[in-house]
Amino acid sequence: MENLLTRIINENKKYTNLGNVADYIPELKKANKEDLGVYIYTTDNEEYFAGDYNKKFSIQSISKIVTLMLALIENGEEYVFEKVGVEPTADSFNSIVSLETKNFHKPLNPMINSGAIAVISMISENKDEEPIDRILKFIRKITDNQDININEKIYLSEKETGHRNRALSYFMKSTNILEKNVEEVLDTYFKACSIEVTCKDIAKIASVLANGGILPWSKEKIIPRKVTRIIKTIMVTCGMYDASGEFAVSVGVPSKSGVGGGILSSVPSRMGIGVYGPALDSKGNSIGGIKVLEELSERLDLSIF
């Protein structure tokens, strides 16, 4: 297996030259464009890896599934989907058009920025814990990694430049989708996007989803089965930005990408996969990462279809 992974990494490394690292904030530009790594964590607790699997990167949009899980666990399906839809869209992740023109101003789904911001506003707080503390606690649990933390530089950079997200948020404030203070919600959002992970971390999150919400390493039930099914469904229909449909055809595995270069893929009942490659294609997905997943899917017959 590791031979296979190593070969796949080596053979697909060349594609990283066809992409570009995210450049909207300076910190992301520092990534090494040629990095490419993969980590597999099976529901039987087997682990396989190759390439730059231990590089740290910011989780970015992959956080959207983490915060959605937490919001669903805390509030239930009905509450969450009262404010955010589950329909895929051909618009880009930061588009504001559909907030004005469609779905009665509800964000179309929780994988576009507006939807994720609305979702994050539902995560509760109490006097000892800010929402971001709850998110960190949760992600440390589902990765079995207590060292996970926020990359402060990336967070500050996101916060400083996140005007499009402010536009989305104030729009939702004006239509009562967002009820809390905008800057506070965004602060949590920017922090959640800046969480630093490795391929292993996201592979383990994916393995929990693959395992129906039970931590494979401790057999502890953490997430209701229904929630893991919702998450995997939304990953298929909306997880790869506006290339989700194409990815579903070519790979067929519930996945979520982030502009930090990560892709989290969950093969139901079998395994979680974490891929990292910061060179992105025009849609914002890891260009090498998609190649790796295409080949893995074919070799290991991973497609759910």
Residue numbers at the binding site for its own copies (CB under 8 A): 85-91, 95-103, 108-109, 163-164, 166-171, 173-174, 182, 229-230, 232-234, 236-238, 242-246, 248-249, 252, 254, 268, 303-305
Question: Which residue, 126 or 176, is less far from its own copies as judged by CB?
Answer: 176
Of 212 and 289, nearer to its own copies (C-beta) is 212
Quick one: 75 or 237, whose CB is closer to its own copies? 237
- CA–CA gap between residue 234 and residue 185 (Å, rounded): 23
Alpha helix ranges (H) inside 151-243 = 152-161, 163-174, 182-193, 199-210, 225-238
Least CB distance to its own copies at residue 148 (A): 26
**Residue 184 CB, nearest distance to its own copies (Å)?**
14
- 181 contacts 35 by C-beta, under 8 angstroms: no
- What are the residue numbers of the active site? 61, 64, 189, 241, 259
Query: What are the CA-CA distances from residue 36 to residues 74, 151, 195, 202, 276 (Å)?
Result: 35, 21, 19, 15, 6
| Closest CB to its own copies among residues 32, 81 | 81
Q: How far apart are CA 15 and CA 36, in angstroms?
A: 10
Per DSSP, what are the bridge partners of residue 139? none
Is residue 176 a contact partner of residue 120, using CB atoms and an 8 Å limit? no
Quote the least distance from Cβ 234 to its own copies, whole Å.
7
119, 114, 130, 131: which is closest to 77 by C-alpha?
A: 119
Q: Least distance to its own copies from the beta carbon of 172, Å?
A: 8
